[in-house]
Chains A and B, each alone.
Chain A
Amino acid sequence: MTTTRFRELIARNETAHARRRRITNAFMLTVTGFLTVLALVPLFWIVGYVIYRGGRTINLDFFTQLSRPLGMAGGGVLFSIEGTLVIMILACLFAIPPGVLAAFYVARNPNTALGVALRFGTDVLAGVPSIVMGLFIYVLLVVPTKHYSALAGGLALAILMLPTIIRTTEEMLKLVPHTLREGSLGLGAPEWKTSLTVMFPAALNGIITGFLLAIARSIGETAPLLFTALGNEQYDVGTIVRGGIQSHQSLFAIIGRIINQPVDSLPLTLWKYAQQPYPERIDQSWGVALVLMIFVLLIEIIARLWVESRKRALQG
Chain B
Amino acid sequence: METNIAVTKTVAPSVEAARKMEIRNLSVFYRKFRALAEISVTVLSNKITAIIGPSGCGKSTLLRSFNRMNDLTAGARMDGEILLDGENINTAGVDVVDVRRRVGMVFQRPNPFPKSIYDNVAFGPRLYGIRRRNDLNEIVEKSLRQSALWDEVKDKLHQSGLSLSGGQQQRLCIARALAVEPEVILMDEPASALDPISTLRIEELMHDLVKDYTIIIVTHNMQQAARVSDYTAMMMIDQERAGRMIEFDETNVIFTNPKDKRTEDYVTGRFG
Partner-B contacts on A (CB < 8 A): 177, 179-180, 182-190, 193, 197-198, 201-202, 313-316
Of the candidates A177, A183, A187, the one having the most CB atoms from chain B within 10 angstroms of its own CB is A187
Complex Cα gap A113–B163 (Å): 41
Closest chain-B Cβ to A184's Cβ sits at a distance in Å of: 7
* Interfacial chain B residues near A314, Cβ < 8 Å: 114, 160, 162
Q: Is the CB of B113 within 8 A of A179?
A: no
Residues of B within 8 A of A197 (CB): 123
Residue of A with least CB distance to B72: A185
Q: Which residues of chain B come closer than 8 Å to A193, judged between CB atoms?
A: 127
Within 8 A of A (CB), among B162-182: 162-164, 173, 176-177, 180
- Tell me which residues across on chain A come within 8 A of B114, comparing CB atoms: 180, 201-202, 314
Known: A179-B109, A182-B105. 17 other contacts (CB 8 A): A180-B111, A182-B69, A182-B107, A183-B113, A184-B113, A185-B100, A186-B67, A186-B104, A186-B107, A187-B127, A187-B180, A188-B100, A188-B124, A188-B128, A201-B114, A202-B114, A316-B164
Shortest Cβ distance from residue A233 to the other chain B in the assembled complex, whole angstroms: 47
Q: Is B98 part of the binding interface, using a Cβ–Cβ cutoff of 8 Å?
A: yes
Contact of B160 among A177, A187, A313 (CB under 8 A): A313
Which A residues are CB-close (under 8 A) to B160?
313-316
Q: How far is the CA of A184 from the CA of B105 in the complex (A)?
A: 10
Does B159 have its Cβ within 8 Å of any Cβ on chain A?
yes
In the bound assembly, the distance between CA atoms of A315 and B160 in angstroms comes to 6
Minimal Cβ-Cβ distance residue in B for A111 = B74
A316 and B156 alpha carbons, distance in the complex (Å)? 10
Q: Kindly identify which residue among B72, B123, B162 contacts A187, using a CB–CB cutoff of 8 Å.
A: B123
Query: With an 8 A cutoff between CB atoms, is B115 at the interface?
Result: yes
Pairwise interchain contact B159-A316, C-beta atoms closer than 8 A: yes
- A186 and B69 contact, CB distance less than 8 A: yes
Q: Which residues of B contact A315 (CB under 8 A)?
A: 160, 162-163
30 pairs across A/B with beta carbons < 8 Å?
Answer: A177-B109, A179-B108, A179-B111, A182-B69, A182-B107, A182-B111, A183-B113, A185-B72, A185-B100, A186-B67, A187-B100, A187-B127, A187-B180, A188-B97, A188-B99, A188-B100, A189-B97, A189-B127, A190-B97, A193-B127, A197-B123, A201-B115, A313-B160, A314-B114, A314-B160, A314-B162, A315-B160, A315-B163, A316-B159, A316-B163
Q: Tell me the minimal C-beta distance from B143 to chain A in angstroms.
A: 12
Instruction: Tally chain B residues at the interface, Cβ within 8 Å.
Output: 31
Q: Which residues of B contact A (CB under 8 A)?
A: 67, 69, 72, 96-101, 104-105, 107-109, 111, 113-115, 123-124, 127-128, 159-160, 162-164, 173, 176-177, 180
Which of A201, A202, A316 gathers most chain B CB within 10 Å? A316
Q: Closest CB-CB distance, B139 to chain A, in whole Å?
A: 13
A193 to B124, CA, bound (A): 11
From B127, which residue of chain A is reached at the shortest CB distance? A189
Known A-B contacts A179-B109, A315-B162, A315-B163; the reply to A187 vs B104 at CB < 8 A is yes
Which of B96, B115, B127, B177 neighbours the largest number of chain A CB atoms within 10 Å of its CB?
Answer: B127
CB-based nearest B residue for A205: B114
**Chain A's nearest CB lies how many Å from the CB of B101?**
5
Whole-angstrom CA separation of A316 from B177 in the bound complex: 22
Find out whether the CB atom of A188 lies under 8 angstroms from the CB atom of B98: yes
Known A188-B98, A188-B180, A198-B113; judge A183-B163 contact (CB<8 A): no
Contact B107 A179 (CB under 8 A): yes
* Complex Cα–Cα for A4 and B127 (A): 72
